[in-house]
Amino acid sequence: MSEAAALPPGEHLVHGTDPHLAHHFSSLERQVDASRLGMWLFLSTEVLLFAGLFTGYAVYRYSFPVAFAASARTSEIWAGTLNTIVLITSSLTVALAIHFVRAGRQRAAVACLAITLFFALAFLGIKAIEYTAHFHEHQLPGRYYRFEGVRLPGAEMYWALYFLMTGLHGLHVVIGMTVLAVIAWRTAHGYYSAHYYVGIELAGLYWHLVDLIWIFLYPLLYLI
Amino acid sequence: MTENGEHHSALPYFIVWVALVILTVTTYRTGRMHLGTWALPLALTIAVTKSLLVILFFMHLWEQKGANRIVIGTSFVFVALIISLTVADVATRFPLATPAGAPFGSDIPAQLEEPAPEYQPPAGKIGEPPRGVPEPK
Amino acid sequence: MRQSEEDREKLGAPPAHESYLTDGTTVMSWLNTRDHKRVGVMFLVAVVFFLFLGGVFALAIRMKLLYPGPFLFDALTYNRLFTLHGVTMIFLFMIPAIPSAFGNFVLPLMIGARDVAFPRLNLASFYVYLAGAVLAVWAMVHGGADTGWTFYTPYSTTTPTMLFPLLLGVFIIGFSSIMTGINFIVTVHTLRAPGIGWMRVPLFVWGIYATSVIQVLATPVLGLTVLLVALERVLGFGIFDPARGGDPVLFQHFFWFYSHPAVYIMVLPAMGVISECVATFSRKNPFGYKAIAFSSLGIAFVGFFTWGHHLFVAGQSVFDNGVFGVLSMFVGIFTAVKVFNWVGTMYRGAISFKTPFAYICGFLFFLVFGGMTGVALATVALDVHWHDTYFVVAHFHFIMVGAVIMGFLAALHYWFPKMFGRTYHEGWGLVAASLIILGFNATFIPQFLLGNNGMPRRYYQYPEHFQALNVASTAGATLLGFGFIIIFIYLVIALRWGPRCEQNPWRSKGFEWLTPSPPPTHNFDKIPHITQDPHDYRTHAPSGVYTDV
């Protein structure tokens, strides 16, 4: 009935059994479970954060279907598609990094994390090219919209949402890159092992979330 | 530390990756076909499938505890909630109360002669009525 | 009086045990603590400060409303004052008060844990809260916004008053709320002592758990909403701007998607406190433990489905009005379940009428009336008459002040001996409770009448025939203020000069009373193995005689 501590009751907690074990947890396994649950809770807050933007998208897409479809056609579809592949592959490499740490292959893991960072940079680079193209075409949000190709009510809304959603997503890419860089450094310096790799796992979870959000952004903003 | 389902091969990750790439290509091709009303449900179905692959296999939710699944599942339920009831509002309003008279006014291409005017916030000094508002008698 | 003299005779010199209070007495040992108890005390000091700040704003508003015409200050200042009153009270006091002050202190003790799951995150949540609060106060000092705490567009996107720092402050405080929520959920899942299964968790923990679920799911939407308003002000993104095709009502959807569950963030912990106190001061088992536990989760869940009732007259569609009107009724069911359970617990209990019990009485009365007026407001046809009048103001103050602050004061008086190892003067406690309950009634019952007679809210001037009720309301507010000042005085005196108390002065069966009062830093010398149900006041004789611990 009770899924409580693994230690017998009344037992003094023994400090120093494992250098990673915090004093208030009864076992390392429980501590790792707690870290994972905490991370999933944090990911759900990120999902709800983007939910508001998806709601705005849904409302304005419903209101201005022609403008949204026309504007999506003028977006840089090649860039969006390439970025999707880039992010999916970076998810693969970060999953592989964890796999390699669990298998005890530290250097392969660091290499995978480095490749992930490279893909993340590539994503940002492609995004930068895209944004530059949009600035030149005056496909800008709200009152700055001057694009001659699509002059419909609601085009301004599309671009406002485009920049908000990809901008917030891009911010999360930058945060994820920073976290991954720190984790890569720590992996290279032996902080993680097959026995204890929570840090990489949590960073990986965050990165997968960044990929997940893009999986939804891509068709909604570029394709339909 | 051992876990259920610890696999010694990296092959499952590559299989999932291939599936994701195939689904991406599929959504790209079907997106370019401009399928009309079916475009959105199809795109969302493919996106949901891809995200399930990432969540269950890359993020290992398949092998993890129930609490984690309930957490992420609940968050998706609430996303559906906020989107559905908010769109339901706009969809069922008296037509002239929706943004720009949409959806009834928005399928006619606008013939704008010049770009929309530069946005001007209406207020003047703090405490004064906005410009253009008639003074009360 | 008598009680403290007996205590002094029994206890003599202060006890020699070390506690979390004596473990490190430098400022840095407090500022850099990992101890959930110290974090809780720091939060308590901060939220009490903001309670008084918000109270000052409230009294300023009520002073102005003594006269129907211009008085004391101009309309713009008045608009700023009610905005600041709302922002201070809601974001700086009500949201963090019971969870971050008392939840932090008591929750690990109640589940037999040595700390929360992420102690450093806990400390970080305090500093993030402070940072957001400082920013908000800075915005207030530099003039402050005049939009109301609800920041409705299009006024909030175009007002020339300084809104950005206030929005940023609210955004930052949201992070603190999320951190606390994550910490508590993980703590309850992973740190329960042996023997404490889910159905043995104390009722306050259920309340905090449900609150944390709401904090985690709802607060990000608030963050996004204030971010969108800030971006529209600074960069002209135009999401809510009709000239760009935007919809101002969309802001209200986003805002209330957070803010309605937010009121349950405020009320659920108070209900948890009341559950604890009702059992202790009736010396009786809760009438229905599972009913109270699951109704907490029910309120948390159903609370998310009701936000549109704030938009009934905003231009929301008739369809959504109907949907939200019906869904809003469901929350009342869970609240009613709780009220019946509390009353059922007290019935035929051995009532000990101490100060926390006085607050329980106030809480029950105000929750029932506030809740019923809430159900009335959820009826669309009635809301058309009452929306944006003082009827709504009275309704939510009955819940926010009448229920939540009663719960806060009950928690403060119930756990004061636990936290500081001293007792306060019981007589003054009852005097202050009476003043507060009386003052509260005098303040807000006239407001129901004002609202029903048509006085709009947030108006600087009002027609002369409303003056009598406004004067009555202000008189009540003054009484309420006196009550709070008296509490502050005798509690501060008790902190320094109060008689030291024994470990369990209330003879409560709560698990947190198994530790010394105040507890040592590590909470328990040995992690307890709990074999009894929480709040179990039965003996094992069938006659139903209640014994001491």
Band (A19; pLDDT cuts 50, 70, 90):
confident
Distance separating alpha carbons of residues C198 and C273, to the nearest angstrom: 18
How many CB contacts within 8 angstroms connect chain A with chain B? 167
How many CB contacts within 8 angstroms connect chain B with chain C? 69
Instruction: Mutate one of B54, B56, B114 to test the A interface: name it (highest A CB count within 10 A).
Output: B54
Predicted local confidence at residue B124, as pLDDT? 56
Answer positive or negative: Cα dihedral of B113, B114, B115, B121: negative
Answer positive or negative: Cα dihedral of B53, B58, B62, B65: negative
* Contact between chains at A219 and B107 (C-beta distance less than 8 A): no
Predicted local confidence at residue C545, as pLDDT? 34
Band (B133; pLDDT cuts 50, 70, 90):
low
Chains that touch B (3 or more CB pairs under 8 A): A, C
A58 falls within a domain: yes
Instruction: Please tell me which residue of chain A has the smallest CA distance to C191.
Output: A25
A9 falls within a domain: no
Q: Is C192 on the interface with B (CB under 8 A)?
A: no
* Contact between chains at A28 and B21 (C-beta distance less than 8 A): no
A199 falls within a domain: yes
Average pLDDT (A60-78) is: 89
Q: What is the Cα gyration radius of chain A? A: 22
CB C526 within 8 Å of CB A12: yes
Q: Is C465 on the interface with A (CB under 8 A)?
A: no
Q: Using the 8-state DSSP alphabet, how is residue C73 labeled? A: B
Distance separating alpha carbons of residues C196 and C205, to the nearest angstrom: 12
Average pLDDT (A202-218) is: 96
Predicted local confidence at residue A153, as pLDDT? 80
- For the cut 50, the answer to whether the pLDDT of residue A11 exceeds it is no
Distance from CA of A197 to the nearest CA of C (A): 18
Number of domains in chain A: 1
A17 falls within a domain: no
Q: Is B84 on the interface with C (CB under 8 A)?
A: no
Average pLDDT (C2-7) is: 49
Band (B111; pLDDT cuts 50, 70, 90):
very low
Predicted local confidence at residue A137, as pLDDT? 86
Residue C459: CB atoms within 10 Å: 17
Instruction: Please tell me which residue of chain C has the smallest CA distance to B97.
Output: C315
Predicted local confidence at residue C260, as pLDDT? 96
Q: Is B96 on the interface with C (CB under 8 A)?
A: no
* Contact between chains at C244 and A160 (C-beta distance less than 8 A): yes
Instruction: Please tell me which residue of chain C has the smallest CA distance to B91.
Output: C317
Distance separating alpha carbons of residues A188 and A211, to the nearest angstrom: 24
Q: Is C66 on the interface with A (CB under 8 A)?
A: no
Say which residue the tokens 């959000």 belong to. A213
A104 falls within a domain: yes
The pair phi, psi for residue C113, each rounded to 5°, is -105, 160
Bridge-partner residues for C138, per DSSP? none
Q: Is C323 on the interface with B (CB under 8 A)?
A: yes
Instruction: Mutate one of C235, C313, C320 to test the B interface: name it (highest B CB count within 10 A).
Output: C320
Higher model confidence: residue B101 or residue C326?
Answer: C326
Q: In what helix (H) or strand (E) does residue B94 lie, and over which residues does it extend?
A: none
Residues of B with Cβ-Cβ distance to C217 under 8 angstroms: 74-75, 78
Tens-digit pLDDT profile for residues C351-376: 999 999 999 999 999 999 999 999 99
Q: What is the mean pLDDT of chain C?
A: 92
Distance from CA of B118 to the nearest CA of C (A): 10
Tens-digit pLDDT profile for residues C465-486: 999 999 999 999 999 999 999 9
Q: Is C120 on the interface with A (CB under 8 A)?
A: no
Predicted local confidence at residue B62, as pLDDT? 87
Average pLDDT (C78-101) is: 95
Query: Nearest Cβ partner of C316 from B78, B89, B125?
Result: B89
Q: Is A99 on the interface with B (CB under 8 A)?
A: yes
Distance separating alpha carbons of residues C416 and C410, to the nearest angstrom: 10
Q: Which domain holds residue A153?
A: 27-223
Predicted local confidence at residue C517, as pLDDT? 86
Query: Nearest Cβ partner of A33 from B44, B54, B65?
Result: B65
Q: Is C322 on the interface with B (CB under 8 A)?
A: no
Instruction: Mutate one of C190, C217, C222 to test the A interface: name it (highest A CB count within 10 A).
Output: C190
Percent of chain C with pLDDT over 90: 82
Distance separating alpha carbons of residues C339 and C333, to the nearest angstrom: 10
Higher model confidence: residue A20 or residue C314?
Answer: C314
Q: What are the residues whose beta carbons fall under 8 Å from the beta carbon of A126, sequence distance 6 or more?
A: A79, A82, A83, A86
Percent of chain C with pLDDT over 70: 95
Tokens for A51, please give them: 């939910």
Q: What are the residues whose beta carbons fall under 8 Å from the beta carbon of C302, sequence distance 6 or more?
A: C327, C330, C331, C334
Query: Nearest Cβ partner of A208 from B46, B54, B83?
Result: B54
Tens-digit pLDDT profile for residues A128-155: 999 999 999 888 887 788 887 878 888 8
Average pLDDT (C47-72) is: 96
Instruction: Please tell me which residue of chain A has the smallest CA distance to B87.
Output: A59
Chains that touch C (3 or more CB pairs under 8 A): A, B
Higher model confidence: residue C464 or residue A146?
Answer: C464
Lowest mean pLDDT among B13-17, B32-36, B49-53: B32-36
Instruction: Mutate one of B68, B69, B89 to test the C interface: name it (highest C CB count within 10 A).
Output: B89
**DSSP SS3 for C25:** coil
Higher model confidence: residue C540 or residue C304?
Answer: C304
Query: Nearest Cβ partner of B85 from C158, C245, C308?
Result: C308
Average pLDDT (C189-195) is: 93
Domains and CATH numbers, chain C: 5-514 (1.20.210.10)
Instruction: Please tell me which residue of chain B has the smallest CA distance to A146.
Output: B115
Tens-digit pLDDT profile for residues C422-441: 999 999 999 999 999 999 99
Predicted local confidence at residue A20, as pLDDT? 85
pTM above threshold 0.80: yes
Q: Is A170 on the interface with B (CB under 8 A)?
A: no
Q: Is A148 on the interface with C (CB under 8 A)?
A: no
SS3 for C352-408, per residue? CCCHHHHHHHHHHHHHHHHHHHHHHHCCHHHHHHHCCEHHHHHHHHHHHHHHHHHHH
- For the cut 50, the answer to whether the pLDDT of residue C541 exceeds it is no
Instruction: Please tell me which residue of chain A has the smallest CA distance to C111.
Output: A4
Band (B56; pLDDT cuts 50, 70, 90):
very high
- For the cut 80, the answer to whether the pLDDT of residue B114 exceeds it is no
Query: Nearest Cβ partner of C221 from A48, A63, A163?
Result: A48
Show the CA angle centred on residue C179, arms to residues A95 and C112, nearest 5°: 100
Tens-digit pLDDT profile for residues C282-337: 999 999 999 999 999 999 999 999 999 999 999 899 999 999 999 999 999 999 99
Distance from CA of C427 to the nearest CA of B (A): 47
Bridge-partner residues for C500, per DSSP? C422
A31 falls within a domain: yes
Predicted local confidence at residue C160, as pLDDT? 86
- For the cut 70, the answer to whether the pLDDT of residue C216 exceeds it is yes
The pair phi, psi for residue C422, each rounded to 5°, is -135, 160
**CATH at residue A84:** 1.20.120.80
Q: What is the mean pLDDT of chain A?
A: 89
Query: Nearest Cβ partner of C244 from A12, A53, A156?
Result: A156
Predicted local confidence at residue C12, as pLDDT? 41
Give C76: exposed, middle or buried? Use CB within 10 Å, 0-12, 13-18, 19+.
middle
Distance separating alpha carbons of residues C61 and C81, to the nearest angstrom: 7
Query: Nearest Cβ partner of B81 from C245, C250, C304?
Result: C304
Q: Is A54 on the interface with B (CB under 8 A)?
A: yes
A95 falls within a domain: yes
Average pLDDT (C129-148) is: 90
A16 falls within a domain: no
Predicted local confidence at residue C24, as pLDDT? 85
Q: Is C318 on the interface with B (CB under 8 A)?
A: yes
Distance from CA of A111 to the nearest CA of B (A): 15
Instruction: Mutate one of A18, A44, A74 to test the B interface: name it (highest B CB count within 10 A).
Output: A44
Q: Using the 8-state DSSP alphabet, how is residue C144 labeled? A: -
ipTM: 0.91
* Contact between chains at A156 and C183 (C-beta distance less than 8 A): no
A residues 109-138 near B, CB within 8 Å? none
- For the cut 50, the answer to whether the pLDDT of residue C262 exceeds it is yes
* Contact between chains at A44 and B59 (C-beta distance less than 8 A): no
Tokens for C363, please give them: 């809480």
Tens-digit pLDDT profile for residues A182-200: 999 999 998 888 889 999 9
Predicted local confidence at residue C544, as pLDDT? 33
